[in-house]
Structure 1
């Protein structure tokens, strides 16, 4: 692969994913805000979150196998196509006047199935496109693009919701998905990876078992995934209950919900740019630990600040920390995992994230109707900081996180 080829491919790939993400974000915000503003219920928010995660959890291990067995570009195209088709059907049903809330839950589940297929394929295809020494920069740029979308889409979604119906947003999502699919089909050229090019001698379950054994035999992966499992449980209140908290504690104006998303997105843009230019500490685990401490501190702060503008400041700082955490974590896996197992490893990571966050919501969602969300944020924020310290002191992770040429951990 020449330098020009990989640069062309990554521009096309990130462009298509950004376009697709824009439409998906519009729908996600529209549905989430519609449920929040019309129900103001922690139980209903929990049901929505479960519908958006359980299908991904069920599908992720199989999707990881598919990402190793088949052409990853086609998996991304097919998953985008499935989501776009389901969104189009939902838009038509709404136009016919049937607007039951269960349809939004069903849409969340269908989108989760597409995400379950797409996520391991995207995570596995990047090392196939990008030279290893450029992975941190490219993942950082990707994080910045995602942050830009998160900055723009809530404003666009809110504007559309005040001027038009939710159906208009459904149609925009269909159009953006079609553009992304055509971009990949017509312009993005990349050969299938080695395992996908070979005749498959084993079945799905054999491949899945091989992937699980691969993780089991790598001490770094076992410990890393354990930390992530606990992290995802503790992140649930900050990730999903803050819109409900704002509605209850500061007011149910749409602009407030938009403001917290914009503040978070501005932070993510800054954090993505910072990690892309800086690259983080020489040992990636140090960068992950620092980001974890900041996220935990901000979660705690969101539970105690009494003024909305201060709330927005901590939400922005939280956003800065997110790419500082996600980028080195992703690059660490992309560097340490055998390419032929990449899809299955990212599939298992997806399974962990999509099982642990619903577990967190099953715990904290009902609690949000019984106790103040502020208390939940303060408590989980403290535990997140403690987890970050433990992660940063683990010798197995520190050894895995060091770059080539760096002295071994004593």
Structure 2
């Protein structure tokens, strides 16, 4: 019976769940708008200030709340309904995008408006990030589908990353950045409708004892006392600092180095989306979580080499090819690490550990953005990315040496949870 069920299981088993299908549809539409807004924001900042450092400042303010507030957000997520939290965060995100649209259309937009609204976005994301990652596990009917859900989410995110910047670049060049913000704001309606249409079981909190600070301490102790979780969090923090700096200084390459326009920036970001989408599809169609450690190591090396190649390129086709491999490597690292983490952590601490993951990922990016903006201003954007690429390559070598010991610990958990048996079937 089990063998027959296994043979008949669909290629993308996560879509067996109605709630996840709704989530996928709503998020797919909204994420395209989000990527359009991200592109429009950095383009607008650069043209308002003509200062690479201000790109870093805006990137810093939009993400820094993740560093300080996300752990508390994780405690909040383990105590209250993740479904209701997400409805609230989506409404706030919609208001933020529509405010940007109104300010841009009326000609009142100034750099301090962008910084203030980016800060609001950061506060909102500190709760939205851990809630979203923990909630998506509730949407699948079978625990075996968790790895597939994470991979599909990555594919969806990067499909939007491919489409959003391409549309955004064209819109900015033709009608202005305001329309990107407007479309993004309206796209949140799809997410809110999808969330309201879901049939969610009554919420049962996984945290009943202790005060929030005690719960927070428990999460930290659990995460950093177990080597595989600690290694993932430190690896993601390092990669977020060095490997993601290219996103904030991309306008410099598009306009000054490649002598292009907003469309060029859109094409560059879309090229990274193509690579990211390819890696997401690969992860989504994998039949097992086994071997993800090697994939993460490979992703670090690929991203590092591609960043160096992109920094040295002065031809658009070569730059697009390099960005494709940057996107490929980034998702192998980010989605691969997320998948391993989701499959080894304890359920009652899921919200808190995923909040630490979000802090290591999104919370460290602002520091990288700030340093990237400062370095690009002092030594130039190409040299900045060369440093980033070298750092990623060295990280891949270091993590590869740690992999055998970490793998033994992870396999012990997989065996206890029955994941090894599922993989063998």
> Could you tell me which residue of structure 1 aligns to residue 239 of structure 2?
231
Distance (whole Å) between structure 1 residues aligned to residue 80 and residue 166 of structure 2: 38
1:399 aligns to 2:408 (yes or no): yes
Out of 350, 353, 356, the position equivalent to 1:348 is 356
Distance change >3 Å, CA 37–CA 5, structure 1 → 2: closer
The correspondence for 1:23, drawn from 27, 33, 39, is: 33
Alignment match of 2:175 (pick from 164, 174, 193): 164
Matched, 1:46 2:56: yes
Q: Which shows bigger deviation, 358-367 or 284-293?
A: 358-367
1:364 corresponds in structure 2 to 372
Indicate whether 1:128 and 2:138 are aligned. Answer: yes
Matched, 1:151 2:168: no
> Deviation at 1:343?
0.8
User: Following the alignment from structure 2 to structure 1, what is the Cα–Cα distance between the partners of residues 236 and 49?
Assistant: 31
Counterparts in 2 of 1:92 and 1:382: CA distance versus 1, 3 Å: closer
Q: 1:220 aligns with which of 225, 228, 231?
A: 228
Q: Per the alignment, do residues 343 and 378 of structure 1 end up closer, same or farther by CA in structure 2, a change over 3 Å counting?
A: same
TM-fit CA distance, 1:37:
3.6
Is 1:63 equivalent to 2:73 in the alignment?
A: yes
Work out whether 1:290 is the aligned partner of 2:298: yes
Deviation, 1:5, is 9.2
Whether the aligned pair in 2 keeps the contact of 1:56 and 1:351 (CA below 8 Å) is yes
Quick one: distance in 2 between partners of 1:255 and 1:143? 25
1:384 aligns with 2:392: yes
> Judging changes above 3 Å, is the alpha-carbon distance between structure 1 residues 282 and 94 closer, same or farther for their aligned structure 2 residues?
closer
Runs of 5+ unmatched residues, structure 1: none
CA contact (8 A) 2:171 2:179 kept: yes
Q: Secondary structure at the match of 2:332?
A: helix
Aligned-pair CA distance for 1:20: 2.1
**CA gap 1:343/1:356 in 2 versus in 1, 3 angstroms:** same
* 1:261-299 Cα shifts (integer Å, max 9, x gaps): 121111122111122123577332111111111111111
State the partner residue of 1:253: 261
Question: Measured at CA, do residues 384 and 77 of structure 1 come closer, stay the same or move farther in structure 2, by a change above 3 Å?
Answer: same
- 1:207-232 CA deviation, whole Å, 9 max, x = no partner? 21221122133222222222222222
Task: Report if the CA contact (8 A) 1:136-1:327 is conserved.
Answer: no
TM-score when scaled to structure 2? Answer: 0.87
Counterpart of 1:81 in structure 2 is 91
d(CA) in 1 for partners of 2:287, 2:315? 34
Distance (whole Å) between structure 2 residues aligned to residue 176 and residue 230 of structure 1: 33
How many residue pairs were aligned? 401
Q: CA deviation at 1:400?
A: 4.1
After TM superposition, give the deviation of residue 101 of structure 1 in Å.
1.9
Q: TM-score, normalised by structure 1?
A: 0.90
Q: Write the deviation string for residues 298-357 of structure 1: whole angstroms up to 9, x where unpaired.
A: 112112233221111011122222332222211111111111111111111222234422
1:369-396 Cα distance to aligned partner (Å, 9 max, x none): 1112222222221221111121122144
Structure-2 separation of matches of 1:87 and 1:281:
37
Alpha carbons 2:58, 2:118 under 8 Å: kept: yes
* Partner Cα separation in structure 2 for residue 223 and residue 324 of structure 1: 16
Select between 176-185 and 245-254 the one with higher mean Cα deviation. Answer: 245-254
Q: Which of 180, 194, 200 pairs up with 1:190?
A: 200
Determine the C-alpha separation between the residues in 2 that align with 1:207 and 1:401.
Answer: 24
Question: Map of 1:133-144 to 2, 5 A cutoff?
Answer: 133-144=144-155
Query: In structure 2, the residue corresponding to 1:303 is in which secondary structure?
Result: helix
Mapped to 2, the partners of 1:216 and 1:312 lie a distance apart of 39
Moved more, 280-289 or 111-120: 280-289
Which residue in the other structure is 2:189 paired with? 178
* 2:42 is the counterpart of 1:32: yes
Offset from partner CA, 1:162-191 (integer Å, 9 cap, x none): 333433333322221122112111x21222
2:286 corresponds in structure 1 to 278
In 2 relative to 1, CA 280–311 (structure 1 residues): closer, same or farther, beyond 3 Å? farther
- Which segment is superposed worse, 374-383 or 335-344? 374-383
Backbone CA RMSD of aligned residues: 2.3
